[in-house]
Structures are given as structure tokens and as C-alpha cells.
């Protein structure tokens, strides 16, 4: 007996009021995170409550546009029209100055074989920014000038 659950019909309500400042800043090409006054951790994107200290992070911190690839996986997706299998890295980026990693994507022109943990990346802003997470269209890859790159990159 085939069945289906229409997930899109679920109506979840979220309090994202703590994000409004962050989303507004994204529209102006600025990256901010909020900082917990208890443990000094910086959250990007912002969190409503710090899970460690159970206090509301109340301080806004400016962050750089750069970050590092914290980890990555390569997704193999079949194009529904051409049937061609595309290989694309999906990455978690650790933004410089923050203490959390965010799931995002890399520049589609990057060859997936070149991805590695610790790769420096920089935000590529979307043309039309609407004040949402998609304002960060993807991350561009920066030149890696670290000396130990050759010994650690596998």
C-alpha cells in the first residue's frame, strides 16, 4: 500500500526575531554573529540561547568575510533533465572569528577533487540580496599560502 506524507503541509512556527539584525546586515554585505557573555563563544548564524551557559547572547560581533572549510562531503546528484550525474562538494564552513560551522556550498566552478579540510574560502555575495541566508550565494576559494599545505593536504 503506497503512502505519502505531505511534509510541506506542516506548519511549524519559529521565533527568528533574534536573527533580524543578522539578516538585515547580510543585505548590506556585512557578516555579524552574536556572542555569549558567559563563555565568549561567537555564533554565526546567531543563536537565541547559548546551550552551554543558558543565557541569551546579547553582543553583536563583526566577522570577516573569510573562513575555512571545516569539513566536506561530495554529493552525487542526477540531473532530472539530462540524466547526467553531477559531483558537487557540500561544505561546512567555519567563519573566521566564530565558533560554529555553517552548512553551505562552494563555487560551482571549483573542482571537487581540490576540496580539502582547512581550505581558506571567502563569501561570494549574491547580486540581489533580500535579507536571507541565500544572500551568501556560495563561497569562493582563496589562495592557500600556508607552509604546511603540502604535507597535510591529502
Partner 1 sequence: MGRQVAIASAGFSEHASKRSDVNMAELVSEAVEDCLKNAPGVEFDDIDAFVNGNMPAFEGSNLPELWMTDWMGARNKPLLRVTTGGTTGGTVAIAGYYTVAAGLPKVDTVLAIAFEQQSQGDTSVGLGSVAYGEISVLNTMGIPYDQLSRLLSAGAAIGVAAYQATNYMRKTHITEEDLARVVVQNRRNAAKTWWTHLKMPDLTIEEVLDTPYISYPLRYGMVCPASDGACAMLFTTEEKAKGMCDIPVYVNGVASVANETAVLGYDGSGSGQIDPSDQLGAMKSSELAYYQAGISFPRKEIDYAEVYSPFPNQELMWVEKLGLFEETTAPKMYETGVTSLKGELPINCSGGVNATNAIGASAMERPAEAALQIMGKADNQVPKTVHTSIGHGWGGSLNLCTLMVMSDEPQRKWR
Residue ranges that bind partner 1, judged by CB under 8 A: 3-5, 7-8, 10, 12, 14, 16, 19, 23, 41, 43-49, 51, 70-77, 87-88, 90, 92, 94, 98-105, 112, 116-118, 130-135, 152, 154
* Minimal distance, residue 143 CB to partner 1, in Å: 20
Based on CB atoms, which residue is closest to partner 1, 32 or 94?
A: 94
Q: Using alpha carbons only, what angle is made at residue 82 by residues 76 and 86, rounded to the nearest 5 degrees?
A: 20
* Minimal distance, residue 89 CB to partner 1, in Å: 8
Q: Which cell numbers hold the place of 4?
A: 505519502
- With a CB cutoff of 8 Å and minimum separation 6, the contacts of 67 are 93, 94, 95, 96, 120, 121, 122, 123, 139
* Minimal distance, residue 132 CB to partner 1, in Å: 2
In terms of DSSP bridges, do strands 85-95 and 31-35 run parallel, antiparallel, or are they unpaired?
A: unpaired
Amino acid at each position: 500500500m503506497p503512502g505519502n506524507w505531505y511534509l510541506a503541509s506542516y506548519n511549524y512556527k519559529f521565533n527568528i526575531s533574534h536573527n533580524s539584525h543578522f539578516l538585515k546586515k547580510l543585505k548590506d554585505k556585512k557578516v555579524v554573529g552574536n556572542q555569549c557573555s558567559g563563555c565568549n563563544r561567537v555564533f554565526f548564524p546567531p543563536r537565541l540561547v547559548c546551550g552551554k551557559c543558558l543565557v541569551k547572547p546579547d553582543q553583536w560581533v563583526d566577522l570577516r568575510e573569510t573562513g575555512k572549510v571545516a569539513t566536506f562531503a561530495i554529493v552525487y546528484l542526477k540531473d532530472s533533465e539530462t540524466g547526467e550525474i553531477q559531483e558537487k562538494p557540500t561544505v561546512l564552513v567555519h567563519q573566521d572569528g566564530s565558533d560554529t560551522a555553517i552548512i553551505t556550498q562552494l563555487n560551482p566552478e571549483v573542482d571537487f577533487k581540490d576540496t580539502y579540510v582547512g581550505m581558506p574560502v571567502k563569501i561570494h555575495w549574491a547580486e540581489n540580496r533580500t535579507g536571507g541566508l541565500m544572500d551568501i550565494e556560495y563561497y569562493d576559494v582563496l589562495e592557500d599560502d600556508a607552509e604546511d599545505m603540502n604535507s597535510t593536504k591529502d
